[in-house]
Structure 1
Amino acid sequence: MPFADELLGPDAVSGLARCLTLGGHRATATKKTSAVFDGMALKARSDLVRDALIADLPDAFDEFVAAVNTLIAQPECTGWMIWPITEAVAVRSTEAGTAKAFDTGLVLLRKLTPRLTAEFALRTMLVADVDRTLATALRWTTSKDEHVRRLASEGTRQYLPWARRVPALMQRPEATAPIIDALYRDPSDYVRRSVANHLNDLSRQHAAIVVDTAARWLAAPDANTPRLVRHGLRTLIKRGDPDALALLGFAAPAAITVTDVDIDPRVRIGDKLTLTAVVRNSGDEPVNVVIDYSVGFRKTNGTIVHKVFKLAAKSLAPREQIAISKSHSFAPITTRRYHPGGHELALQVNGRRMALAKFDLHL
């Protein structure tokens, strides 16, 4: 993924300032922002440009709206410069304090979202008036524009990455059901991926709601529904949730055995660990299996915390066995710190841990 300065950097700010000038507006404060970008995270940069943009645009709300429309009218007003524009719209339309201004802000976000996305700014609207925003988002599900339909799902997710949390959505997990119900058979894969991620977000705390939703969708599917549901249930599958596994046809098979488990006993940080094993159906009936593996990472306090990784999904005939082979990299990454010492690795079949092996990670 690009660094922050490649997303919202001096070039994006220069482009935004040019669009402001072409629209007949000041760009004094906006131009100055890129000079202080060094060391700032992407969200902080967006907030800085947002505030500068508000300072450069008219104070009167109607004039502010007219100014934003002049920006939208310019084809070159696109890309990462859109994020601070959407944030400025959300701030101004919620601070105006009227229903008309609020609805106008939502209209502007709908217009802006095809240029990048307005999902982050929509959070401000949700915090200010969740019911009014959700009602509008539900209407967006019938838009001809896939970007607008995706905004309805993506902007209302519980755990949208990079975005602020919306307490009302956390307290009312069923509130977005009409939105994703309207979109799970959307013709756009772009929209359906958002719906699957929306469902997966809900599964963190509300497994029963998610399984019930997925079952309802599978009862009235289109050709893409099974794949969407599998993606939406991925966290529950990794957790070994029995209802989610059963819904996808992965019951707890008594006749499955895991043998010949072999892993490297010592792995250096920066190298790869190699796993091999044999999974066998020793029963008289075919079974569907989803095979995952989990790595028990050692924490600073010496405790072991497992993280599950996907491996394979198979249908095994009676007496059939398959050989499993997997390499897991311990190359340094920004999202995980490795601690030398004892670690674990386990194979998991249909949510049930079937084998556990130990290894040492060292410098």
Structure 2
Amino acid sequence: MPFADELVNGHTARLLTQAVRTVLPGVEPAALRAAAPRLDALALRERADLLRDALLADVPGDYAELARVVRAARDGVPEFGGWLIWPVTSAVATKAVAEGGDAAFDDAMALLADLTGRLTSEFALRLLLRHDLDRALGIITGWTASPDADVRRLASEGTRPYLPWSVRVPELITRPGATVPVLDALHRDGSEYVRRSVANHLNDLSRDHAGLAVATARRWLDDPAPTTGRVVRHGLRTLVKRGHPGALELLGFTPAALEIDGPVLDRTHVPIGGSVRFTATIRNTGAEDARLAIDYVVHHHRANGSQSARTFKLTTRTLAPDETIAVTREHSFRPLTTRRYHPGPHAIALQINGVPSDRAEFQLLSP
């Protein structure tokens, strides 16, 4: 499987070059040919941007001409799909914004919706959202009633506040309620593909506006579909890890009387690249059933000597009065491209319904 950066590659550039040659006979896409060998040194979004700029250089003229070329490739080039759609839709959005005017903007929105099923237009949509959020959201609201699940998902995914790999749209963060009507329209969608996007969007919203996210989820649960509980649980997952009282209460994780033994570690010195196993027992000492969200927190030593906490999911359980469960987990410290470890004092604690347990300390050692 390729690394993420390799998804837009030389093959992508060659397919796009051939598509231009097919629909513009006699035009040699020199900028696209020159861009192909430069991709390897770039990150994923930079690769898409490079091919976008090359496409704009190779297809002269106004927005209408670019849109004509793109539609001709859509209709006449069987290979016109996959990762080349990212630079193509970005070129469409860039040209529409540069040209200005409602006609180009609206046509670009329609073209993005038309192409999204060939990969996704979510990244290019950000450019139009940044240019005119209200006009874009007016069109996107209509997409929520589309018979095409890819278009409905684009409505939710493309407007996420923290969409991965994409440029930020500051207004989506400073105007948090702007996209809630989109989520309201889609949270009961018949497609799991769409509902998953809604949950991820709600989770994005919760990062800066927890109260709004909880209130939105509460409204959905007041009149739930069979799938609503799953959407809400996934959408509030970050707040549960943070121990947010409103999210925990909404999901039924209320304060409980517990006796916790642990966590107990299988070692107190762990080399980077190794792992540590912990166990713990939890007993419900109350008189009522206790519904528990059981997580664990790793307190990492940082290069500056401080510690940072990262929460990991363990399980959810309901314990009857006086019932006891044992939990165990092995946590790896194998280096990852997204995570760097520093030798020094670390700790592990449980977090149950947002309440942390005592910490078990250990030393992380150099390999």
| Structure 2 residue aligned with 1:53 | 55
Counterpart selection for 2:157 from 140, 154, 157? 154
| Structure 2 residue aligned with 1:121 | 124
Shift, 1:58, TM fit:
2.9
SS state of the match for residue 276, structure 1?
Answer: strand
Deviates more, 1:213-222 or 1:27-36: 27-36
For 1:163-184, what per-residue CA distance to the aligned partner results, in whole angstroms no more than 9, with x for missing partners?
Answer: 1111111110000011000000
CA contact (8 A) 2:289 2:321 kept: yes
| Structure 2 residue aligned with 1:331 | 334
Say yes or no: does 1:188 pair with 2:198: no
CA contact (8 A) 1:72 1:111 kept: no
Structure 1 alignment gaps of length 5 or more: none
| Aligned equivalents of 1:129, 1:335: Cα separation in 2 | 34
TM-score, normalised to structure 1, is 0.98
Shift, 1:22, TM fit:
1.4
CA contact (8 A) 1:238 1:309 kept: yes
| Structure 2 residue aligned with 1:274 | 277
For 1:296-320, what per-residue CA distance to the aligned partner results, in whole angstroms no more than 9, with x for missing partners?
Answer: 0011111111110000000101100
| Aligned equivalents of 2:43, 2:312: Cα separation in 1 | 29
Counterpart selection for 2:313 from 303, 310, 313? 310
Counterpart selection for 1:298 from 301, 313, 325? 301
Structure 2 alignment gaps of length 5 or more: none
Shift, 1:5, TM fit:
5.6
Counterpart selection for 1:287 from 270, 286, 290? 290
| Structure 2 residue aligned with 1:87 | 90
| Aligned equivalents of 2:5, 2:101: Cα separation in 1 | 36
| Aligned equivalents of 2:11, 2:172: Cα separation in 1 | 36
Q: 1:121 to 1:324 in 2, by over 3 A?
A: same
Shift, 1:75, TM fit:
2.9
| Aligned equivalents of 1:257, 1:204: Cα separation in 2 | 31
Q: How many residues align?
A: 362
RMSD: 1.1
Counterpart selection for 2:258 from 256, 259, 264? 256
| Aligned equivalents of 1:94, 1:168: Cα separation in 2 | 17
SS state of the match for residue 359, structure 2?
Answer: strand
Identity %: 49
| Structure 1 residue aligned with 2:12 | 12
For 1:93-126, what per-residue CA distance to the aligned partner results, in whole angstroms no more than 9, with x for missing partners?
Answer: 1111110010011011011111111111111001
| Aligned equivalents of 1:88, 1:260: Cα separation in 2 | 56
Shift, 1:36, TM fit:
1.2
| Structure 1 residue aligned with 2:268 | 265
| Structure 2 residue aligned with 1:67 | 69
Deviates more, 1:65-74 or 1:129-138: 65-74
| Structure 1 residue aligned with 2:42 | 40
Shift, 1:60, TM fit:
2.3
Shift, 1:256, TM fit:
1.1
Report the residue type matching 1:13 in the other structure: A
| Aligned equivalents of 2:283, 2:33: Cα separation in 1 | 65
Report the residue type matching 1:205 in the other structure: D
Shift, 1:129, TM fit:
0.2
| Aligned equivalents of 1:41, 1:63: Cα separation in 2 | 30
Say yes or no: does 1:107 pair with 2:110: yes
SS state of the match for residue 355, structure 1?
Answer: coil
CA contact (8 A) 2:297 2:348 kept: yes
CA contact (8 A) 1:30 1:56 kept: yes
| Aligned equivalents of 2:149, 2:33: Cα separation in 1 | 33
For 1:147-169, what per-residue CA distance to the aligned partner results, in whole angstroms no more than 9, with x for missing partners?
Answer: 11011001101111111111111
CA contact (8 A) 1:80 1:116 kept: yes
Alignment of 1:169-208 (within 5 A): 169-208=172-211
TM-score, normalised to structure 2, is 0.97
| Aligned equivalents of 2:286, 2:296: Cα separation in 1 | 23
| Structure 1 residue aligned with 2:3 | 3
| Aligned equivalents of 1:260, 1:58: Cα separation in 2 | 67
Say yes or no: does 1:240 pair with 2:243: yes
Q: 1:335 to 1:5 in 2, by over 3 A?
A: closer
Shift, 1:257, TM fit:
1.7
